[in-house]
Amino acid sequence: EAGVTQFPSHSVIEKGQTVTLRCDPISGHDNLYWYRRVMGKEIKFLLHFVKESKQDESGMPNNRFLAERTGGTYSTLKVQPAELEDSGVYFCASSQAQGRGGYTFGSGTRLTVV
Amino acid sequence: GENVEQHPSTLSVQEGDSAVIKCTYSDSASNYFPWYKQELGKRPQLIIDIRSNVGEKKDQRIAVTLNKTAKHFSLHITETQPEDSAVYFCAASMGGYQKVTFGTGTKLQVIP
C-alpha cells in the first residue's frame, strides 16, 4: 500500500510569503493529522481531520495557518504570511477509523523561513 | 491537556549494551502509549506500543513497561546495534483517533 505522501519535501521562503504544504494520506484512512517539529523540540500537534471535518484544531498556533481537507482525501496546510518562527518540519500522519495501530507518518516538509 | 516528559535527551551506549528511555505523562485518562523511532532525515516510525490494560510488552530486543499508578512508561532496548541509533519519541493518547502528545525525543547513539 502507498504510504503517506507529503509535498514538497523542502521549502525555503522569505518572511511574509505564502507557502502551501500538501499531504496525501493512505487511501481509506479517515483520520489525518498535522504535526510540527521545531528546532529539535517535541513533535507538536496542530490539528486533526476526520474525513473532511476538523475534529480538533487546538494546536494551530494562530490564524496565519489554514488547513483544509476538501472531499476527505488530501489535505493542505497554508501558512500566510510566513514568519521566521514557522520554520520547522511539518509532518502529516494518517490512521484508520478508531485509530487502531497508531499513526503512519509522512516524510515531512522541512520549511525554512528566511 | 496532556503533558509528556521524556528523559534523557541524549544517550550514548556501547554496542551490545542496553538502553533505557523513560517518560512520564500527566493525564490519567491516557490509555495508549506508542513509541516512534526517527532515523536521520526519515519519517517517524511506530516501533512498539502499549495499552493501559497491559504492564509490559516485548518485541524481540525491544520492550515497553507501563506503570499507570505512577504515570511512567519506559522503552528498553537490549543488545543495542549501530542501526538502533536514532531519535526515539514516546507519546501518550486517549486512544481511538484522539491526538497523540509526544515527548521531546531522545537521541540514542550506539557506539560500535
pLDDT at position B101: 93
Enumerate residue ranges in chain B where pLDDT < 70.
none
pLDDT at position A78: 98
Our CA-based measurement puts residue B107 at a distance from the nearest CA of chain A, in whole angstroms, of: 10
Q: Which three cell numbers stand for residue A65?
A: 495557518
pLDDT tens digits, one per residue of B72-95: 999 999 999 999 999 999 999 987
Rounded to an integer, what distance in angstroms lies between the CA atom of residue B57 and that of residue A11? 40
Q: Are B110 and B13 in contact (CB under 8 A)?
A: yes
Residues 59-88 in A contacting B (C-alpha not used; CB under 8 Å): 59
Going from the first residue of chain A to its last (114 residues), give the mean pLDDT of each consecutive group of 10, the final group possibly shorter. 89 97 94 91 92 94 94 94 96 79 87 97
Q: Which residues of A are less than 8 Å from B48 in CB distance?
A: none
Q: Which three cell numbers stand for residue B11?
A: 544517550
